[in-house]
Amino acid sequence: MSFADHLPILPVLLPLAAGIVLLALRGTGTGVQRAASLVATLALVPLAVALFAATADGTHFVYRLGNWDAPFGIVLVADRLAAWMLLVTAAVAAFALLYAVNGTDREGRHFHVLFQLQLFGLNGAFLTGDLFNLFVFFEILLLASYGLLLHGGGRLRVKAGLHFVVINLIGSTLFLFAVGTLYGATGTLNMADLAVRLAASPAGNTALVQSAALLLFVVFALKAALVPLYLWLPAAYGQTSAPVAALFAIMTKVGVYSILRVYSLFTGLGDGPLAGLLDAWLLPLALVTLALGVLGSAASSGLRQQTAYFVVVSVGTLLVALALGTPGALAAGLYYLPHSTFATAALFLLADSIARARGTLGDRFEPGPALPHAAWLGGLFFAVAVAVAGLPPLSGFLAKFMLLQAAVATPHASAVLAVVLAGGLIGVIVLARSGSLLFYRSQATEGAGPSPSAVALAPVAGLLALTVALTIAAGPVSEAAGDIASQLHAPRLYIDAVLGARP
């Protein structure tokens, strides 16, 4: 085995090792911990790029843990989708950490350890090919996220954290019920093997496997914050510290990824008891999520809460693309995924700088003191708002355009067009109102906080630069997204790669 054969396990092992090393380094100075954490996080980027390049030709990179053949051993599977998600995660994590080392990481203990373990859980969830293993990685990323969410403490943060923990523990229980039922009905937990056995499951088991699959959908919908299970998100994301919220921008996408991965396999083989299972549910729920997210952002009392609602909007838009199901719509969704993650993460980071600059008023939408360096902050806010709202010239507009173009050919065109366009319009109005209130309706000069440092604004600019890069490279990136979509529409290749893998 050469080094390259071990490529799929490295993005999982590296953050785990880094987390353990950072735990051992906790007696040393902040500088050492920051350096170690930054090196480990930045090293994920070349790994993700290497994996992306290795899977670009359509290979399914199957890594058999302990060299046991699937379906008996656990496998990691890197395909185009997994590599895509790893790439987005690595980019967001790098910028979130660059922001955190400005001081947020010192507000509580073990920030860097938890940050690395969160990345360990995220990368593992994207790479695993086993349903129970997915549960375990979910738990790892959740346990780390509980610690990160509470980082820094404070009354509102603890309250939001309690709700977040309890609802996710109930979600984990449901996940286990679903996994148990699927194992009881099919005798396997390997996702590729499950797909084959579910398609051939006897008629007497139909109700059983359908209920298990729908239970699983509830769990993923909870992680993705789909209506009616999104109510935990605005409080949790709005109250936590900025770099954590920016990293959490990818966490809802884990739910979306799981829906995409699991149901493309379970329902992709055509006939069988699960064929078309989600068709009646996903599109209406996604449209309602989008609409309620936009309304929530209009009703928000602070910028961070508003940003959290824009995370809900992005999930709704992504799931609309998933629900339409055509390769074109899926490609649009996969192009929208990195854009929305970068844009909302940038807004979370910027909201923190604005809140600090406003002193005691924080991010609340009330006329406040004139901001120091208002031109810089306002200019960045304008650019980020353009990205979040999906206006031209940035990539959000292209993604929505691709999505609507794909939707026109489907029978649901009118509903999708109406909700996405109206939602976009309200989003623009909401952000314009927030911007004018924060930057123009300023009264007093006293009461302003410290002016934001250039290092605090650099990660925001970096994330913005990524969306600009997505726009400039729209051709190749949307082609790559199209390749991912076509690979997802051929689950037989995934199944053959996993079950046929031999040493």
Partner 1 sequence: MDALLALAIGVLTAAGVFLALRPRTFPVVLGLTFLSYAVNLFLFAMGRLAVGVPPIISETASGYTDPLPQALVLTAIVISFGMTAFVIVLALKARAELGNDHVDGLEHETDRHA
Under rule CB under 8 A, residue 109 binds partner 1: no
Q: Which of 274, 261, 273, 271 is nearest to 130 (CA)?
A: 261
Under rule CB under 8 A, residue 170 binds partner 1: yes
Query: CB of 494: closest distance to partner 1 in angstroms?
Result: 23
Under rule CB under 8 A, residue 163 binds partner 1: yes
Under rule CB under 8 A, residue 161 binds partner 1: yes
Subset of 301-330 contacting partner 1 (CB under 8 A): none
Which member of 77, 165, 250, 498 binds partner 1 (CB under 8 A)?
Answer: 165
Positive or negative, the CA dihedral 328, 339, 493, 280 is negative
- Separation of alpha carbons 456 and 489, rounded Å: 42
Written as six digits, the tokens of 345 are: 């993460």
* Helix (H) / strand (E) containing 76: strand 75-78
What phi and psi, each to the nearest 5 degrees, are found at residue 63?
A: -115, 115
- Separation of alpha carbons 16 and 140, rounded Å: 11
Which member of 6, 159, 433, 441 binds partner 1 (CB under 8 A)?
Answer: 159
Query: CB of 128: closest distance to partner 1 in angstroms?
Result: 14
Which range of residues in 173-181, 194-202, 472-480, 490-498 is near partner 1 by CB under 8 A?
Answer: 173-181
Long-range contacts of 379-384 (CB under 8 A, 24+ apart): 380/350, 380/457, 380/460, 380/461, 380/464, 381/350, 381/354, 381/435, 381/438, 381/439, 382/435, 383/464, 384/343, 384/346, 384/347, 384/350, 384/460, 384/464
Beta bridge partner(s), residue 76: 63, 128
Which range of residues in 143-151, 251-259, 312-320, 408-416 is near partner 1 by CB under 8 A?
Answer: 143-151
Under rule CB under 8 A, residue 208 binds partner 1: no
User: Nearer to partner 1 by C-beta: 173 or 436?
Assistant: 173
Which member of 90, 150, 282, 488 binds partner 1 (CB under 8 A)?
Answer: 150
Query: CB of 329: closest distance to partner 1 in angstroms?
Result: 36
Which member of 35, 53, 56, 162 binds partner 1 (CB under 8 A)?
Answer: 162
CB atoms near residue 490 (< 10 Å): 13
Under rule CB under 8 A, residue 143 binds partner 1: yes
Query: CB of 121: closest distance to partner 1 in angstroms?
Result: 12
CB-based contacts of 483: which residues, under 8 Å, 6+ apart?
A: 56, 58, 80
Binding site for partner 1 (CB under 8 A): 132, 136, 139, 143, 146, 150, 153-155, 158-159, 161-163, 165-166, 169-170, 172-173, 176-177, 179-181, 183-184, 189
